[in-house]
Structure 1
Amino acid sequence: MRDYDEITAFLGEWGPYQKSVFFFLSLSVFPNGFCGLSIVFVGDIPEHRCFIPGNLNLSEAWMNRTIPLEQDKDKLQYSKCRRYRLDVIKNLSEIFPDPDSVNISEVGQEPCLDGWVYSKEQYISTIVSEWDLVCNNEWKGPFAMSIFFIGVLTGSFISGQLSDRFGRKLILYGTMGVQSVFSVLQIFSPNWELFCLLNFFVGLGQISNYVAAFVLGSELLGKSTRAIFGILGVCISFAIGYMTLPFVAYFIRNWRILLFTLSLSGLIYIPMWWFVPESPRWLLVKGKAKEAEAIFRHIAKKNGVTPPEVFFTDLELEDLKAKSKQSSTIIDLFKSPNIRAITIVNFLLWMIITSIYNGLSLNTSNLHGDDYLNCFFAGAIEVPAYIASWIFIQRFPRRLSLTGILFLGGVVFFFIQLIPSNLSIIATVLVMIGKFAVSCALAMVYVYTVELYPTIVRNMGIGTSTMASRLGSIISPYIFYLGIYYEFLPFILIGCVLILAASLVLLLPETINIPLPEMIDQMQKFKFISRRDHMNLDPLYTHAATEEDNTVTQKTEEI
């Protein structure tokens, strides 16, 4: 049986049709960066302090003394969550017209019983200022983003199964619609609870759309352009959307209008229906050879090549049907000691890298300097990061490259606590260097995972790794929430876990210049697993021992 690439070799690798598919599917990822990180501005916390009712008839001098001063880092500022007891202040103001003649610090304090006053200097409104998500309710802001990532986790779980059952194209456009429609519905949220519920569905649609576009592009494009599409097409399109977000947010300071404007980007999906076909690979797996053949002939026409008269022999069609009956389950990722060790380490890597990436992306508004510029730079730094990851993948061993870039990121974050407060711009630069390292690692770990797992469980391995990463995403909004206890605690934590991740990578086998494994016993060996331990008699694990296989094994052990 000829493989898929051999069957479609006559179409060419980079014809007009492949170029259009590359462009449109990359474009479909743009709204994920454009809308997915909107919470950076939609959920930002404006400057605020307790509201003082006007019916107290306090003089301006007394009004300015109703809020206590608190030490924040290296400066004094008005408390955001406390005020002096207003009944006492009212009585004192009637007795002492001049507040300087009274020791205000001896007056008892109380929480903001009448709500808060929010600065309009940067935002007209955010979900924080509209629903008072501050002080005792400050946890609700990060929780809204955690709900989004729970939706992402759910989408990661169901999108692959739906895509395998109903087709890549249908799920791609269906989830695009889910993301756009629920983003619009969020505009009409009357309360925080409904906003969170809708945010769940936005997250579900976003990741499903992203994964479906990646899979569809990988299956439609030739083997020489798949990696370029995955890293430079999909990832850079996401980064461009990320970079565009602060530009739009700068001119739209109302969170409802901003969400509506961002949701309009979903309109770019509509024309794509006529330019992007269903995956012929999926059609063949489902036994729909005639539909796949029709797509091949259409591509051949667009590329100006002559298709063969007969695409598949009867024997090949029977072979396709037989292969479609083979299946694997998540249990196969844990059966032998070797694949179990690789799977556990892989899960930890995905969780660490993704949680740090999302935590840094959501924290741009807390960095020193202009929020909009910081967000733009955080997106812009990903472009060279993805280009660097492509160069690393092309020229250097995967294991050493990934270890090195993770270790660099960990060391950089440790240094941030050593930067004096008057040199905050240097701290911001270090954060951007760390973001570069984490973005680079995120792109590389995807390719590394593809090469680690054998064909029989590769989709399962990637899918479960993605699910593991979403568990890390759920906790990511709270990483920088730890800063309320100690300013540099989040950076110390990030540095520690990145160095831990770098150490874990060293346990994994090298995959550069090694043929992709087909069966589980062909996988490269985990550092502390013997060759015999990861063999198994299950049919999914074994293969015919040919001279070529023995040669590959010998080369692998030498490496």
Structure 2
Amino acid sequence: MTARGAPAVDLDAILAELGQFGRYQVRTYCFILLPIVFSAVYNSQYIFAAAATDHRCVVPECESPPLSWSAGPWAGWALPEEDGGRCARLQPLPAAAGACAPAAFHHNNTVACDAWVYQNNYTIVSEFELACEEWKRTLVGTMHSVGLFAALPITGYISDTFGRRTAFVLTAVSAALMGLVRAFSPNYAMYLVFEFLDATLGSGVYSTGFILALEMVGLNKRVLGGNIISCSFALGQVLVALVAWAVPYWRTLTVVLYAPSLLFAFYYFVLEESVRWLLSRGNKKEAARIIYKAAAVNRKKLSPESIRQLSEDTEITQSGELKSEEKETQKGNEKSDSEPIKNRSLAAEVIRSKIIMSRVAVCSFVWITTTFTYYGLSINSVSLAGNMYINYILTALVEIPGYALSVLTLDRFGRKSSIMTAYIVCGLALIALPFIPSDLHWIATSLNMLGKLCISMAFSSIYIYTSELFPTSARHRLLAVCSMIGRIGSIVAPQTPLLMQVWASLPYLIFGGMAVSAGLLMLLTPETLHQRLPDTVAEAEDIARHPHNTT
């Protein structure tokens, strides 16, 4: 029980005294950013390990081991002209009995291949004989995305129950273990299972690291801190492409990428727990120890009031409000009696509101479009003309100015207009891409980069915009609904390479069409720049009716 009338621990005020982003926070960030970089490695390594590999049929009548990728002159009469014999070869005539001559093969009839020669043996396509089973190759990315979806409740439970640091270290080390086991997979099924487990157990590195980092910086530096983390993730994607370029064989690549993450187990002894989480769990003694340590490292002196709050038996909250025992007791009684009714009435009020439900529908489509286009462009960048590693590196690096643009434009030009512009420019660039002549592949690459820049800008902005559209009473839940539905895009995105079998440019037309549609649909939602965050459904509905209702 707290002392009657005792002041609460005002953590935001204490952080302001410590320094918004002092030496202690910088040191904490240095520890956290390395696993963030590796989280990008975990999330993109399959793009290279399961990359498409060119192949052709083995023609036993005309070649024998050791097989060479380059076919001899016999390819002109043994392999069909349409696809060069990727999945079928011309049918040998029974009368020829294994001869390799033009007269030994049927000129029109083909038979399915039962063995292939691969251009290289770097990926699982050649390792597990996935030629002509493109769906199995793309299924790897889909299973990874399903694992990301499954990770959300698991990571959240561990983080809220056992601490940010525990979740951070556990997910980083779990990813390393799952990745190393996958490197020794004897078959495709085992590889697929551990790709799923890798994402399920290890993808929480980013979210827990993000929370752990931001909970120790001041309010005015959270945008800066968030962008540093986002940029680190982009650099991690660059790292995986560079390592894959140097170590192309997928088994060796997986070991090289994942083995260093085992060292993150030592983070448990060098990284401090989140002060906010400790306070929320009632462990003010440990929280005070960390705050005093941060003050010493930052060479700051806490005020007598802050020292008193940390040393006395004060109530542990983060809002700075005053609460007495009577208020707590009364609040508990009221909550137990009325919470079910309030929850039911709130849900009914949200559902009855056509304005709120239309925003949920628009935001859900926008989230699907964003994840679908963002991950789709990353995955399909390796299929662009030119060096696939350079293409992927450029696609990753262009995210950094996209994040910077979101910071520069959201407060200056407004949330809605900035995000709409990003979607429409992204869509037009991708729609134009298929019409670029093949000999001008640098222009196609530039349009792809422009699309990725704009969708990255939109991705970093929709969290803020979506939150500002909904009332406080239902904000978290409605944001979660949009985000969860948005995962459909990331699950479907790995399958888009299959569309290239129909037309090489078809994925980009779909990405572009959805991006333009998302931008136009935002005409149905209001501008939220300088708007006071709505607390009730009625206030949220009023945003569109009274656009100048500022704080």
- Do the structures match in fold with TM over 0.5? yes
SS of structure 2 residue aligned to 1:278 = coil
1:69 corresponds to 2:81:
yes
- TM-score w.r.t. the length of structure 1 is 0.84
Q: Which letter does structure 1 place at the counterpart of 2:53?
A: P
User: 2:436 matched to which residue of 1?
Assistant: 419
Question: 1:166 — aligned with what?
Answer: 162
Aligned residues: 517
Partner of 1:194: 190
Distance 2:347 2:526 in 1: 16
Identity among equivalent pairs (%): 28
Could you tell me how far apart the structure 2 residues matched to 1:432 and 1:274 are? 41
CA offsets 1:53-81 (integer angstroms, 9 cap, x no match): 369889965465321110xxxxxx51200
Instruction: Determine the structure 1 residue equivalent to 2:396.
Output: 379
Q: Which of 44, 50, 53 pairs up with 1:46?
A: 53
Q: Relative to 1, partners in 2 of residues 1:558 and 1:279: Cα closer, same or farther, differing over 3 Å? A: closer
Provide closer, same or farther for how the CA distance between residues 33 and 133 of structure 1 changes in structure 2, counting only shifts above 3 A: same
Instruction: Please tell me whether the aligned partners of residues 126 and 255 of structure 1 are also in contact (alpha carbons under 8 angstroms).
Output: yes
The 3 A distance-change label for structure 1 pair 199 and 92 is closer
Please report how far the alpha carbon of residue 475 of structure 1 lies from its aligned counterpart in structure 2 after TM superposition: 0.3
Q: Is 2:59 the partner of 1:33?
A: no
Tell me which residue corresponds to 1:276: 271
- C-alpha separation in 1, matches of 2:391 and 2:398: 10
Q: How does 1:297-376 map to 2 (within 5 A)?
A: 297-307=292-302, 308-311=306-309, 316-317=315-316, 319=323, 322=328, 335-336=349-350, 337=353, 338-376=355-393
Alignment partner of 2:308: what SS? coil
Residues 88, 27 of structure 1: CA spacing in aligned structure 2 closer, same or farther, 3 A cutoff? same
Q: 1:92 to 1:150 in 2, by over 3 A?
A: closer
Offset of 1:271 from its aligned partner? 4.8
The alpha-carbon deviation at position 469 of structure 1 amounts to 2.6
Paired residue secondary structure (1:108)? strand
CA separation of 1:170 and 1:316: change in aligned 2, threshold 3 A: same
Q: Unpaired segments of 5 or more residues in structure 2?
A: 1-7, 66-70, 317-321
Deviation sequence 1:425-461 (CA, Å, 0-9, x none) = 2112111111111111111112323444455555444
Distance 2:359 2:313 in 1: 40
Equivalent runs, 1:432-447 vs 2, <5 Å: 432-447=449-464
Counterpart of 2:205, as a letter, is N
- Three-state SS of the structure 2 residue aligned to 1:132 is coil
**Offset of 1:244 from its aligned partner?**
1.6
Residues 1:380 and 1:194: Cα distance change in structure 2 (over 3 Å) = same
Partner of 2:234: 239
Pairing 1:205-224 to 2, within 5 Å after superposition: 205-224=201-220
Q: Which amino acid aligns with 1:141?
A: R
Amino acid at match of 1:19: V
2:290 paired with 1:295? yes
Q: Letter of the 1:106 partner, please give it.
A: H
Counterpart code for 1:127: I
CA distance 1:285–1:206, change in 2 (3 Å): same
Counterpart code for 2:195: N
C-alpha contact (below 8 Å) 1:333/1:461 kept by paired residues: no
Question: In 2 relative to 1, CA 22–461 (structure 1 residues): closer, same or farther, beyond 3 Å?
Answer: farther
Q: 1:245 to 1:363 in 2, by over 3 A?
A: same
**Match in the other structure for 1:112:** 113
**Could you tell me how far 1:160 is from its partner in structure 2?**
2.0
Q: Give the aligned residue type for 2:238.
A: M
Provide the rounded CA distance (Å) in 1 between the counterparts of 2:464 and 2:35. 21
Contact preservation (8 Å) 1:61, 1:98: no
Give the aligned partner of residue 488 of structure 1: 505
Question: In 2, distance between residues paired with 1:401 and 1:89?
Answer: 70
Gaps of 5+ in 1: 71-76, 531-553
1:121-136 mapped onto 2 (5 Å cutoff): 124-135=121-132
Matched to 1:269, the amino acid is F
Equivalent positions of 1:75-154 (< 5 A) are 77-88=83-94, 90-91=96-97, 93=99, 99=102, 102=103, 106-113=107-114, 115-120=115-120, 124-135=121-132, 137-154=133-150
Deviates more, 1:408-417 or 1:452-461: 452-461
- Secondary structure of 1:49's counterpart equals strand
Residue type of the alignment partner of 2:403: Y
* Alpha-carbon displacement from aligned partner over 1:87-140 (angstroms, at most 9, x marks no partner): 5484484xxx852xx495635210012x111012xxx321111112221x2101
Aligned counterparts of 2:59 and 2:141: Cα–Cα separation in 1 = 31
Do 2:9 and 2:314's aligned partners in 1 also have CA atoms closer than 8 Å? no
**Matched AA of 2:116:** W
Residue in structure 1 matching 2:495, options 475, 478, 485: 478
Moved more, 491-500 or 515-524: 515-524
Q: Which residue does 1:551 correspond to in 2?
A: none
Using a 3 Å threshold, how does the CA distance of structure 1 residues 297 and 522 change in structure 2: closer, same or farther?
Answer: farther
Q: CA deviation at 1:3?
A: 4.9
Structure 1 residues 454 and 45, CA gap change in structure 2 (3 angstroms): same
In 1, Cα distance between equivalents of 2:61 and 2:104: 23
Aligned residues: CA RMSD: 3.1
Q: Deviations over 1:358-394 (max 9, x none)?
A: 1111112210111111111111111211111221234
1:192 corresponds to which letter in structure 2? Answer: Y
Q: CA deviation at 1:462?
A: 4.4
Q: Aligned-pair distance for 1:357?
A: 0.6
Asked if structure 2 preserves the Cα contact closer than 8 Å seen for 1:176 and 1:209, the reply is: yes
**In 1, Cα distance between the equivalents of 2:213 and 2:10?**
18
User: C-alpha offsets along residues 166-212 of structure 1, whole Å, 9 cap, x if unaligned?
Assistant: 22221111111221111111111111111111111111234311111
Paired residue secondary structure (2:295): helix
Q: Which stretch shifts more, 303-312 or 235-244? A: 303-312
